[in-house]
Amino acid sequence: MPEPQPASSRRTPPLPDEDALVGRAVAGDRGAFARLVEHYQAACYGLAWRLLNDADQAADATQDAFVHAFDAIGGYRGGIFRSWILRITANASYDILRRAQRRPTTTLPDPTEGQPELADLNAPNPASEAARGEMFRHLDAALRRLPEDQRVAVVLCDVYGMDYHQVASLTASALGTVKSRIHRGRLRLRELLADHRELFGG
């Protein structure tokens, strides 16, 4: 499978006509729904890839999430569409993680497989973009080395901005457990990135 590519070095901004598209999608317009998920597919895939550590499983989870979202869009009650679709993606990814835990395999993931190429050499300032790309590459590599429970908690909270309660609900864990996983995950990341502190400006 070819390596996933970064959509951009910035977060996906909302579409200019997003509210209207969401309204049409809720009313059953398949084209409007397709436009929305196409816009957010890189964000969703990135979340799944970071949670699952596997490019193929991430694609499957994203696909599942789109199907679930299509089924659920009729009951969408407003809010930020990006958060809604990311929450569905996180659920789909976490379902795959749970299934994998029940059915452990002996093959270890290739730590380089599916790693995104983050440097954007066409950017206005190639040097600074390359440095950012380098930082993100180290960050993603360090995330992949976290224990799964800590990785899931840190990705959901610090990368995708969910609060403790949302993470606890999604992972069916106690609030204190989630906080502890996030704090231990952050501290472990800090250790893993100790040799690249200059990239983070810390």
Partner 1 sequence: MHDPNRHPDDERLSALAGGDDEVLDDRPLRDHVAECARCSAVVDELLALRTALSQLPAIMPPRPLRLLPPAPEPRPERSAAGTWARRLFAPALAVGMVLAIGGGIGTFVDRGIPMLTSAGAGAVAAPESQDLSKGGEPQPAAAPSDNGTTFDGLGNGQAEPPERAGERQSATDRPAPWLPILGAGVALIVLALILRFADQPRAG
Can you give the binding site for partner 1, defined by CB under 8 A?
1-12, 30, 33-34, 37-38, 41-43, 45-46, 49-50, 55, 58-59, 62-63, 66-67, 70-71, 114, 116, 118, 132, 135-136, 139-140, 154, 157-159, 161, 179-180, 182-184, 186-187, 189-190, 193, 197, 200-202
CB of 196 to partner 1, least distance (A): 10
Nearer to partner 1, 75 or 104 (CB): 75
CB of 98 to partner 1, least distance (A): 22
Contact 160, 47 (CB under 8 A): yes
Which amino acid type is present at position 100?
Answer: A
Nearer to partner 1, 95 or 132 (CB): 132
Contact 133, 9 (CB under 8 A): yes
Count of other CB atoms within 10 angstroms of residue 86: 23
Cα 152 from chain centre: 10
> What DSSP line would sit under 45-68, residue for residue?
HHHHHHHHS-HHHHHHHHHHHHHH
Q: Cβ-count burial of 93 within 10 angstroms (0-12 exposed, 13-18 middle, 19+ buried)?
A: buried
CB of 136 to partner 1, least distance (A): 6
Nearer to partner 1, 10 or 77 (CB): 10
